[in-house]
Amino acid sequence: MIDKMLEDIISNIKILCPTIESIRMFQSLLREYKPVGNRIFDLEIVSVMLSNSISFIATFNQKDFKDYLNIKLYQF
């Protein structure tokens, strides 16, 4: 049963990695939002999302992403 669940997850997931386009987006977002400390990592996630036309994020830490205007939050 667990094997079947894992296979379902693996077959329905796409792993996104930084690209040249997301790095350019990241640079632009850095200038716009000027993150401090670990917030820079949240902004990198946003840049990868936006460069892949993803506008929703599901997160337990809604406060980490609430200031970014181009995304919508789904909280668990």
pTM, full prediction = 0.82
Q: Tens-of-pLDDT digits for all 76 residues of the chain?
A: 888 888 888 898 889 999 999 999 999 999 999 999 999 999 999 999 999 999 999 999 899 999 998 899 987 6
pLDDT at 9: 84
The Cα 36–Cα 30 span in angstroms is 10
pLDDT at 27: 98
